[in-house]
Amino acid sequence: MEVIETKRATQEAEENIIKLSKTYDFEGEKIQELDFSGLENVTADDMIKANKVLASSGTVSVLPENDLHYTLIIAASATGHPIEFFKSLKPRDAIKVKNKVTSFFFGEG
């Protein structure tokens, strides 16, 4: 039983990690992967704040949960990396982040 629980915990931890297509050098830190386990701690208040940031930037979105900028704001909150880091991602990695956040919101991951 304990072995199965350990394997499940390891698998869940690995599912929270996104491997980036390249190593990013951001403010002296080398970043090759992102840990999204913090998504479990995101609250409705965080989502409201992300909506306010989105609105103040002039972006209008009917479904903000699917908006790249919105998902990057949530990713910044969940991972502890600043939004500026997420805005510097190459398209392939930005879409990986977007998909991770939207999958989490819609119960797919």
CA count, 13 A, side-chain hemisphere, 30: 2
**pLDDT in the model for residue 109:** 52
Residue from 30, 9, 13 nearest 81 by CA: 30
Are residues 25 and 32 in contact, defined by beta-carbon separation less than 8 angstroms? no
Tokens of 2: 């304990």
Are residues 69 and 51 in contact, defined by beta-carbon separation less than 8 angstroms? no
pTM given for the model? 0.85
In tens, the pLDDT along 6-62 reads: 655 555 667 899 999 999 999 999 999 999 999 999 999 999 999 999 999 998 888
CA pair distance 5, 27, nearest whole angstrom: 38
Are residues 90 and 21 in contact, defined by beta-carbon separation less than 8 angstroms? yes
Banded model confidence at residue 105, pLDDT cuts 50, 70, 90: very high
The span from the first CA to the last CA of the chain, in angstroms, equals 24
Banded model confidence at residue 5, pLDDT cuts 50, 70, 90: low
In tens, the pLDDT along 78-90 reads: 999 999 999 999 9
